[in-house]
Each structure stands twice: as C-alpha cells, then as structure tokens.
C-alpha cells in the first residue's frame, strides 16, 4: 500500500514551500518526493509520477501521462 503526504518547510531564502512525499507502507521506503512553492493538486501528482517511473519504468511516449 502506498500513501502520500504533504508538509510545509521554511527555507531561509525562498519563504514557504510544500514538500510532498509518497511512501510504501510495507517497507517505509520513500518512492517519490517533490518540493514546490505552492502545493496544488497538480504538484501532488508529481511524487506519484516519480514513484510509478521508479517502480515500473518509463511510460511510452504515446501515453497521455508521459
């Protein structure tokens, strides 16, 4: 089972940023991580995309999600 969570960080130079991470609950392995200035629903999908690429390989170029 995979889960995704978000938190907020405060770097010295950039102000507030959102940190999004996708974690495998069975192994506690971080599968995907993404940092964005603003944590929108589109930014939340980036760790999912990275986890899918890491676990299953690249998507074909004809895929609408590539």
Provide the strand spans (E) within the chain.
Answer: 2-9, 17-24, 29-36
User: φ and ψ at 26, to 5 degrees?
Assistant: -75, -40
What's the order of all strands across the beta sheet hosting 2-9? 2-9, 17-24, 29-36
Mean pLDDT, all residues of the chain:
85
Q: Where are the domains of the chain?
A: 2-56
What is the percent of the chain where pLDDT is above 70?
91
Q: Which position has the higher pLDDT, 66 or 2?
A: 2
pLDDT-based confidence at 19, cuts 50/70/90? Answer: very high
Count CB-CB contacts under 10 A for residue 56. Answer: 8
Residues comprising the chain, all counted = 66
């Amino acid at each position: 089972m995979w889960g995704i969570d978000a938190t907020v960080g405060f770097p010295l130079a950039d102000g507030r940023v959102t940190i999004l991470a996708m974690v495998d609950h069975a192994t506690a392995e971080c599968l995907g991580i993404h940092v964005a200035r603003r944590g929108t629903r589109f930014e939340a999908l980036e760790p999912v995309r990275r986890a899918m690429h890491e676990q299953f390989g690249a998507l074909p170029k004809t895929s609408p999600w590539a």
